[in-house]
Amino acid sequence: MVVIKSFLLLIWTYIFQTNLFNFILVVLFFVWAAKKFDFKSKLDAMHNKVIQIIEDAKQNKLNSEKALADAKDAVKNLQNDIDKINADAQQSAETISAKILDDANKQVKNIELNADKLIAAEEKQLVAGLVKEISKISVEKSKENITNMLRDNTELHEKYINESIDKLDGLAL
């Protein structure tokens, strides 16, 4: 019994005098901590996440390669397209220029024509106005002359009166 006790004491002393006990305690702590914080599942999640990142990167790479291929296709005929656009633009510009020039010429001709017409109308109106004025003056002058002639000329008055009486023949009374 004493021997057993001594043995146990020896072992106990050994344990305390070496790092074994500390080591066991540390292991136990890690076991406890692993259980407590579920390191495994977290590590699995991290592992999965890293895998997902890698997969995404691969997919991105594929997408980028595809985009690059599309871009290459797109720019393959770019020069031709640019040339065509330039040619079309040139054609349109020439057509529009020709039309503008044509319209301008027509407008100028119209303006000239209208101006001629306007001048002709103005001339006509002026002439008509002058004719009217001259006619009015002529009538006034004739009236004045006849009035002067009639002054103290009873015979002439009687002539007009007799003419008026004669005119009654042709009138319905």
Partner 1 sequence: MTNSKDNLIAKRYSDALLSLVRENNADVQNINSQLKSIKEVLVTSSDLSSFLSNPIISAEDKKDVVSKLLNDKVDVILINFIKLLIDKERFFAFEEISNIFDAEVDNLNNIQKVSVTSAIELNENLKNRLIEKLSYKLNKNIELVTNVDSDIIAGLIIKIDDNVIDMSLKHKFEEMKKQMIK
Site string for partner 1, 110-149 (x = CB under 8 A): ---------------------xx--xx--x--xx--xx--
69 near partner 1, judged by CB under 8 A: no
10 near partner 1, judged by CB under 8 A: no
Report in angstroms how near the CB of residue 151 gets to partner 1 at its nearest: 10
Query: Judged by CB under 8 A, how many residues of this single chain contact partner 1?
Result: 25
Report in angstroms how near the CB of residue 137 gets to partner 1 at its nearest: 10
Q: What is the 3-state secondary structure (H, E, C) of the chain?
A: CHHHHHHHHHHHHHHHHCCHHHHHHHHHHHHHHHHHHCHHHHHHHHHHHHHHHHHHHHHHHHHHHHHHHHHHHHHHCHHHHHHHHHHHHHHHHHHHHHHHHHHHHHHHHHHHHHHHHHHHHHHHHHHHHHHHHHHHHHHHHHHHHHHHHHCCCHHHHHHHHHHHHHHHHHCCC
Q: Which is nearer to partner 1, 49 or 141 (CB)?
A: 141
What are the residues binding partner 1 (CB under 8 A)? 131-132, 135-136, 139, 142-143, 146-147, 150, 154, 156-158, 160-165, 167-169, 171, 173
